[in-house]
Amino acid sequence: MLIHFDQFEVLSFDCYGTLIDWETGILSALRPLLRAKGVKLSDAEILSFYAEIEPEVQQKEFCNYKTVLESVLSEFGNRFHFPLSDAEKSLLHDSLKTWPPFPDSVEMLSRLKQKYKLAVISNIDEDLFRYSNRLLQVEFDWIITAEQAGSYKPSRNNFYFAIDKIGEPKEKILHVAQSIFHDIVPAKAIGLTTVWVNRRQKQKGSGATRSASAQPDWKVPDLRTLVRLLESQA
């Protein structure tokens, strides 16, 4: 599909998996813990279990993301039969504060900020996102969190909430995300134009997100390619 990018005034982004390399962060936190507990899993298996467990937790009664991550770790313990200390339960949300941006995120967000208003729509707590925002080095015009919406993507509520907060017609918003499951499916369902950033194009499987099917309006391998497309139409 040909997108006329000049129709958009706002670019909204998923954060974790799109701007922040959450799979590297997740693995850096879980590998040493599982090894210490005597659990032998490949990186692909760790991410697959994570992709299965996290949405199950998020579908229950709403709680903040720190509690979600503690519950994810507890479920790893239940499945592989090891106990967790209080310090170990906080391992994931403590590590999230240092999860790295993808190599192109900081520069490309800075370039996009020169032309567009930027929003982030993320399954996160506001206080945790501040750590990631400092690493991304950009001032978002809107920060929309699961904590504000009271739900987790792929709920459509998060996107309706975001559109209302942004205050622009959805025709002027371009949503950019890596996760088909969390973002492309619900964003397309409510009529947003979407760009799929296929960060995992050289890897097998869907990583830390559940497998899902949807047709994005455009597909790019990274943010740098997206910026080139946007600038080519300027």
Cis peptide before 101 (omega within 30 of 0): no
Length of the chain: 234
Q: For residues 159 and 161, what is the distance between their CA atoms, to the nearest angstrom?
A: 5
Lookup: tokens for 42: 């490949």
CA 16 and chain centroid, separation: 3
Which residues lie below 8 Å from residue 180, measured CB to CB, with a gap of 6+? 196, 206, 209, 211, 212, 213, 214, 216
Burial of residue 23 (number of CB atoms within 10 Å: 0-12, 13-18, 19+): buried
Report the catalytic residues. Answer: 14
Residues forming a β-bridge with 142: 119
